[in-house]
Amino acid sequence: MAKPKNVPASTLSTGDLASRTLILDNGAHTIKAGFSSHLTSYQPTPSDCTIIPNCIARSTRDKRTYIGPELTTCLDYGELAYRRPVEKGYVVNWEGEKAIWERSFSNDEGGLGCDPAETNLILTEQPNAPVALQRWTDEMVFEEFGFGAYHRTIGASLNAWAPSPFPSTTDSASGLPVECLLVVDAGYSHTTITPLYHGRPLHNAIRRLDVGEIKEDVCYVSPSLTAFAADLERTWKGGRYDARELDTTVVVDYVLPDYEHIKRGYHRPHDAKVKGGRVLRVDEETGRREHVVTVGNERFTVPELLFTPSDIGMSQTGLCGVILQSIHSLPEGLRQVFLANVIVVGGSGLLPGFVERLDAELRGAVDEDLVVRVARAQDPLKNSWLGSARMAQDEGNLRQRMVMRGEWMEHGEGWVRRRFAGKMGR
């Protein structure tokens, strides 16, 4: 399709929505991307969503640069240098992000095969973004990529349309949001608390905890503070004159992948013969050399940071405290409603013991007559995407939210930003 220069790339006239909607849940670690259409009645499922690493990686071993989806084809993760365009949850480096998006949209292997001119876009961002970054995002989407219609929203607010993980809540029909939801998004950059009312965020009560990025597969969360102390005891080597046995259920040896035989690390109970922290030894069974790292109290002290950031000297309250801060900034009548609908999404939500610990702490911190329900979304990584896909099924929703390229050209970026913040009606 040859286009003359200086003509906007969109083939849509103002007021037309394309048939497909691309939903990009743009995270700092990965992009969750997939299509949804308001013209079919197909119910989107998590399998429609592809997870694309949101980084550009350069491998010095095979001298290749992997952009976005290409990273999954990389065989050797050793000595990879990463470059992440998203900092603290916001796209800061558009040069890199543009490359990743273009690669993701292309028809090549691993790409989505998306033509921006014929697709609507729903893009997520983190709350409390600096205004300049929002402006740049709008500019890039319309000018550089040429999407015809676009909606930018806070990622957490899309969870209101996803199927509810609470067993007692009836599933709402596809186009309607859950009434009240308190979203705890424990992601890569930070953890945000967002109360939503009918899918709209209550801005005064959005809080952020700057602890994120806990994705190791040996980590878990201690069930409570006393259990934390007990765990710490079990992983102690003892004093000089009081050597203790390490409890092998907690202390594990993590075998590092060497990408020849072992593609991904795994862990096994600690072997007392492995001395010291990190060791290169010959595995007895297989006779191969392997790097082994003994992981002891790091398994739970690291996730403990989510609940007690003061452990490393951060002067912020932990997750339970910040949820309470968020709730206390709302009028009293709303507090019970939000406490009863706490949903955990995001990568760190997958840690074993996370939900139980949060539930126990919240339960202990609020009055007895308040109901507290905490649940993890069925698929914490893709939940926002799923909610957005279901929301986009309803044409009414799309028409209310989408901003057309023509409108952007006519009214300017300030108007568009106010629209996305929900200030003006159609």
Considering only residues 61 through 100, tell me which ones interact with another protein, judged by CB under 8 A.
Answer: 65, 67, 81-84, 87-88, 90, 92-96, 98-99
Q: Which is nearer to another protein, 250 or 379 (CB)?
A: 250
User: Is 147 within 8 Å of 407 (Cβ atoms)?
Assistant: no
101-120 residues near another protein, rule: CB under 8 A: 102-103, 105-108, 115-117
Site for another protein in 209-228 (CB under 8 A): 209-210, 213
The interface with another protein within residues 166-205 (CB under 8 A) comprises: 179, 197-200, 202-204
Which residue in 314, 340, 360, 375 binds another protein (CB under 8 A)? 314
User: How many residues belong to the site for another protein (CB under 8 A)?
Assistant: 107
Q: In whole angstroms, give the CA distance from residue 187 to residue 373.
A: 21
Instruction: Write out the binding residues for another protein, residues 325-364 only, by CB under 8 A.
Output: 325, 328-334, 336-337
> Under 8 Å CB-to-CB from 81, ≥6 apart: which residues?
57, 58, 59, 60
Tokens linked to 204? 């005064």
Burial class (CB in 10 A: 0-12, 13-18, 19+), 221: buried
Shortest CB 210 distance to another protein, Å: 7
Map the footprint of another protein across residues 283-312, applying CB under 8 A.
296-298, 301, 308-312
37: tokens are: 């259409």
Residue 25 or 125 having the CB closest to another protein: 125
* Binding-site string for another protein from residue 225 to residue 254, where x marks contact by CB under 8 A and - marks none: -------x--xxxxxxx-------------
Using the minimum distance from each CB to another protein, give the nearer residue, 244 or 289: 244
Q: Of residues 22, 149, 206, 250, which one binds another protein by CB under 8 A?
A: 206
Whether the CB-CB separation of 152 and 137 falls below 8 Å is answered with yes
3 lines the binding site for another protein (CB under 8 A): yes
The C-alpha atoms of residue 67 and residue 44 are separated, in whole angstroms, by 27
Please report, as a single letter, which amino acid is at residue 17: L
Helix (H, G, I), strand (E, B) or coil at 38: coil
Residues 407-426 that bind another protein (CB under 8 A): 414, 418, 421-425
Name the residue nearer to another protein (CB basis): 105 or 220.
105
At closest approach, how far in Å is the CB of 216 from another protein? 14
Choosing from 20, 46, 140, 394, the residue that interacts with another protein (CB under 8 A) is: 140
> Which residues partner with 67 through β-bridges?
56
What DSSP assignment string belongs to 277-338?
SEEEEE-TTT--EEEEEEE-THHHHHHHHHH-GGGGT--S--HHHHHHHHHHTS-HHHHHHH
- Of the candidate spans 14-22, 31-39, 132-140, 283-291, the one that interacts with another protein by CB under 8 A turns out to be 132-140
**Token reading at 136:** 């740049």
CA dist 363 and 367 (Å) reads 8
Task: Give least dist CB 78 to another protein, A.
Answer: 15
Compare residues 5 and 261 and give the one whose CB is closer to another protein: 5
d(CA 236, CA 411): 64
Cβ 52 to another protein shortest distance, Å: 15
Q: Which of these, 171, 82, 126, 70, lies nearest to 384 by C-alpha position?
A: 126
Residue 385 to residue 88: CA distance in whole angstroms = 20
